[in-house]
Amino acid sequence: MQVPSIHAYSRTQHELGAKISAIKAAWPCLKHGHCFVDSDGQHITLNCFKLNSWGAALVSSVLSSQHINN
The DSSP call for residue 2 is P
The mean per-residue pLDDT over the stretch 43-65 comes to 86
Going by C-alpha positions, the residue among 17, 24, 16 that lies closest to residue 62 is 16
The mean per-residue pLDDT over the stretch 8-20 comes to 90
Residues 6+ apart with CB under 8 A from 59: 12, 15, 16, 19
Using pLDDT thresholds of 50, 70 and 90, give the confidence band for residue 5. Answer: confident
The number of C-alpha atoms within 13 Å of 52 and in the hemisphere containing its C-beta is 4
Helices (H) and strands (E) in the chain, counts: 2, 3
pLDDT in tens, 30-48: 999 999 989 999 999 999 9
